Structure formats: structure tokens, C-alpha cells
Amino acid sequence: MKRPNRFFCALFFFVFVSFSSVCFSQGREMKDSTGLRAYLATRDDTLFIRYDSAYLLNKTTFTVYQEAYKRVRNGNLSNQKVLLAYDSLVSLQDRMLKAKEADYQFLKNNFDSLVTASNTFVNRTDVNVTAINQSLTRAEGNLNNIKALLDDSLQKLKAENKQRLKIAVKGFVVGVGVASLVFLIAK
């Protein structure tokens, strides 16, 4: 059996180490966009950029830009004023964004509490309307019973009035008959 030579063993070891180092590398997350930041990243590093703009430069280009920035920063007074104004504008914008986020959260919380209170009010109103509807149904039933009793009482009163009228007419007829008889006998 032929033994693998040292070159292939070294190549296998190198590939194994390079793949394992890539697997264990941690990603770097960049969230802060409030100023100029320089992050060192080597080959095969994972970068997560969580803001709107970023520039990736190699070391030589970065050095050129950094030197130019330092010359401008340390040089002309008007350039320094412009850079200070820019920095203050960036920080003002960040403060405004944070204030707007706080206002948004405040308004969102107020709206959520308003929705909760409105739902509670609607539920209570629904319960009250249901109770009122049941009370009206019972009152309507009671009114129908009272109406039936009143109709019955009116019919009884009419029948009793007819009976009294009949008795009065009969009494009048008997009285006229008796009076006529008395006058006839007396004459």
C-alpha cells in the first residue's frame, strides 16, 4: 500500500484549518452611524452593516482618506467650522430621530390604550343594550297583559251598565204600570 506523501498531508491540514477558522469566525455587527468609524476587518470576516451607508476600503485607500481627513481637520479654520457644523448637524438629526421615535412610541401606547378603552366601552354598552332590550321585552309583555285586563274590565262594565239599564227600564215600566193602576183605581 502506498503512503500519501507529505505534500498531500500538508495540503489536507491547511484546507482543514482554513475551513475550520472560517466556520468559527464571529460576524461583526455595525449599527452606529453617528460619526466616522473605522473597523478593522480581515479576509473572510462576516460584516453586518445595520445602517444606510458604509464604505469598504482597503488599507492603502483608507490611509489616503484618513490622512486627507486629518489634513482638512487640522488645516483651514473654515474647513474646521464646516466639519463642526456637519458633526453638530448629524448629532441634531440623531437627537431628532430619537425624539420622533419616543413620540411615536408615546402615541402608539396612547392609541393602544384608547383601543382597549373603546373595546371595553363597546362591550359594556352591548351588555347594557342587551339588558335594556330584555327590560323592554318584559315591559311590553306586562303592557299587553294590562291591556287585556283593561279590555276585559271594559267589557264587564259595559255588560253591567246594560244590566242596570235593563233593570232601570223594567223598574220604570213597572212604576208606570203601578202608577197607572193606582190612578185608575183612585178614579
- Tell me if 94 sits within 8 A of 34, measured CB to CB: yes
pTM of structure: 0.38
Instruction: Note the pLDDT of residue 158.
Output: 93
Q: Where are the domains of the chain?
A: 23-75
Cell of 160: 253591567
Instruction: Give the residue-averaged pLDDT of 175-181.
Output: 89
What mean pLDDT comes out for the span 67-78? 75
pLDDT at residue 16, as a whole number? 66
| Predicted local confidence at residue 46, as pLDDT | 75
Handedness of CA 44, 50, 53, 59 (dihedral sign): negative
**Predicted local distance difference test score (pLDDT) of residue 25:** 52
Give the model's pLDDT for residue 31: 63
